[in-house]
């Protein structure tokens, strides 16, 4: 790898705190060493001065010792010249040697103690960052389907606990907001079904009279039937979307993805044959998932409908179920025109379609892939959309692999 392509590794907060402890130790240790050396110099200077003055008294005999010591004088006797004292230069050399030894030993001790300083800083930083790691793990696991979970940090009322309490308060506000949105969608869908059913009954009564209706009335009736069918699909999609965003499902079961895919393609056999589509299904019996049978069937049905609707006559559809690691994957690819990648990835938003129109399209309610995304997230999975280079696009659904009831290991 070249020099321009290399990037230094990212330092974590724990590493920075450990290095900060090491820096504080070094910054405080150097002045402490200087103060110690200064005090030692003052003490040894005063003691050597007093002892030197007392050792050079006149008439004192020669002092013979094993070597130079601070505070003692050394004399040399020369025949015919008397006694010569030269203790000052030797005491200065001894003092310089002791000072150098003190500096070397203190510097070595300072360098050695930097290692325990880094270790202690690393341990203390890890202890202090435990609540932050718990908050990070909780934030990664919390989604729109489990906003009821809270951190519930315990301990002293310090800055970290206040941050955790603030995070819990934010989750509470988000939970109330999401719940209000889901409840509104469900209530609105239920309330709209009554006038929708009333309009359909009145239309049937008006068109069911014994005498034939005029051509323009018959044409108007057909148009109204078509629009009422579209509203019916839209209300049904809104209800499924509201249910898919609920935290739990009552009809939870374990089933193979292949069974759901075969049922969805069998129900649409006439539509597939009418468009002359070639549908190939690569099965994987080990791809088992756990969840709501109704919602999982609706998820697969929406994906298959999407592949059939957004296709060219005589085109192709490839459906693959597989196991990747601890996940069961469903891949649905279909042919068609070349699409923009950003436009395809935006299809998970409600009422988004391929093309300039947003509503009023005859090719669906605009909620199909939004429902698929919500159901996948509810079951702990995810949805990915990609535009194929040769035309058409790919839908990838990844769900947690179900566990075998007898062994407790992935199926």
* 3-class DSSP state of 406: coil
Could you tell me the pLDDT band of residue 4, with boundaries at 50, 70 and 90? very low
Could you tell me the pLDDT band of residue 363, with boundaries at 50, 70 and 90? low
Could you tell me the pLDDT band of residue 219, with boundaries at 50, 70 and 90? confident
Query: What's the CA gap between 103 and 96, in Å, rounded?
Result: 11
Question: Which pLDDT score is estimated for 395?
Answer: 93
Enter the DSSP assignment of 74: -
249-400 classified as CATH 3.40.630.10: no
Q: What is the pLDDT of residues 87-144, one digit of tens each?
A: 557 766 776 777 777 777 777 877 777 788 878 888 887 777 777 787 777 777 776 5
Query: What's the CA gap between 411 and 409, in Å, rounded?
Result: 6
Query: What's the CA gap between 67 and 48, in Å, rounded?
Result: 16
Question: Which pLDDT score is estimated for 316?
Answer: 93
| Average pLDDT for 225-239 | 78
Question: Which pLDDT score is estimated for 55?
Answer: 45
Question: Which pLDDT score is estimated for 5?
Answer: 47
Q: Which of 5-14, 124-133, 197-206, 292-301 has the highest mean pLDDT?
A: 292-301
Q: What is the pLDDT of residues 292-329, one digit of tens each?
A: 888 899 899 999 998 998 888 889 999 999 998 889 99
28 CB-near residues (< 8 Å, 6+ apart): none
**CA angle at residue 98 from 95 to 101, to 5 degrees?**
150
Percentage of residues of the chain with pLDDT beyond 90: 17
More confident residue, 357 or 242: 242
Are 91 and 70 contacting, i.e. CB atoms less than 8 angstroms apart?
Answer: yes
Q: Dmax of the chain from CA atoms?
A: 162
Question: Which pLDDT score is estimated for 60?
Answer: 45
Question: Which pLDDT score is estimated for 143?
Answer: 64
Residue 345 in tokens: 């990835």
Residue 61 has pLDDT above 60, yes or no: no
Q: What are phi and psi of 136, to 5 degrees?
A: -65, -45
Q: Is the pTM of this model over 0.85?
A: no
More confident residue, 300 or 6: 300
* 3-class DSSP state of 117: helix
Domain boundaries, the chain: 13-51+68-128, 178-242, 249-400
More confident residue, 137 or 271: 271
Tokens 């990838």 identify what position?
396
| Average pLDDT for 222-226 | 82
Rg (CA), the chain: 42
Enter the DSSP assignment of 158: S
Q: Round the average pLDDT of the chain to a whole number and report it.
A: 75
Residue 349 has pLDDT above 50, yes or no: yes
């Amino acid at each position: 790898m070249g020099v321009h392509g290399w990037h230094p590794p990212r330092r974590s907060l724990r590493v920075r705190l450990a290095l900060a402890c090491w820096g504080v130790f070094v910054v405080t240790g150097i002045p402490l060493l200087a103060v110690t050396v200064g005090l030692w110099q003052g003490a040894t200077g005063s003691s050597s001065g007093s002892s030197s003055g007392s050792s050079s008294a006149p008439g004192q005999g020669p002092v013979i010792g094993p070597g130079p010591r601070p505070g003692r004088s050394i004399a040399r006797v020369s025949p015919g010249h008397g006694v010569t004292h030269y203790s000052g230069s030797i005491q200065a050399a001894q003092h310089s040697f002791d000072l150098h030894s003190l500096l070397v030993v203190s510097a070595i001790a300072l360098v050695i103690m930097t290692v325990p300083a880094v270790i202690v800083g690393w341990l203390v930083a890890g202890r202090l960052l435990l609540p932050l790691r718990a908050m990070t793990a909780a934030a990664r696991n919390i989604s729109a389907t489990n906003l009821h979970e809270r951190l519930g940090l315990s301990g002293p009322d310090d800055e970290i606990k206040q941050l955790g309490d603030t995070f819990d308060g934010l989750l509470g506000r988000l939970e109330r907001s999401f719940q209000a949105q889901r409840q509104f969608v469900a209530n609105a869908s239920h309330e709209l079904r009554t006038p929708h059913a009333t309009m359909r009954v009145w239309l049937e009564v008006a068109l069911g009279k014994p005498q034939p209706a005029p051509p323009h009335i018959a044409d108007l009736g057909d148009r109204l039937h078509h629009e009422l069918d579209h509203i019916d699909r839209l209300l049904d999609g809104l209800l499924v979307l509201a249910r898919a965003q609920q935290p739990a499902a009552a009809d939870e079961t374990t089933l193979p993805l292949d069974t759901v895919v075969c049922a969805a393609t069998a129900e649409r056999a006439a539509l597939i044959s009418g468009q002359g589509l070639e549908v190939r299904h690569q099965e994987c019996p080990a791809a088992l998932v756990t969840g709501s049978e109704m919602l999982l069937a609706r998820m697969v049905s929406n994906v298959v409908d999407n592949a059939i609707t957004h296709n060219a006559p005589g085109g192709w559809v490839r459906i693959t179920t597989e196991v990747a690691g601890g996940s069961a994957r469903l891949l649905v690819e279909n042919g068609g025109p070349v699409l923009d990648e950003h436009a395809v990835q935006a299809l998970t938003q409600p009422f988004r379609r391929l093309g300039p129109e947003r509503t009023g399209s005859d090719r669906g309610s605009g909620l199909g892939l939004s429902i698929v995304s919500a159901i996948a997230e509810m079951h702990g999975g995810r949805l990915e959309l990609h535009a194929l280079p040769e035309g058409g696009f790919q839908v990838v659904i990844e769900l947690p692999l179900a566990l075998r009831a007898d062994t407790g290991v992935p199926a």
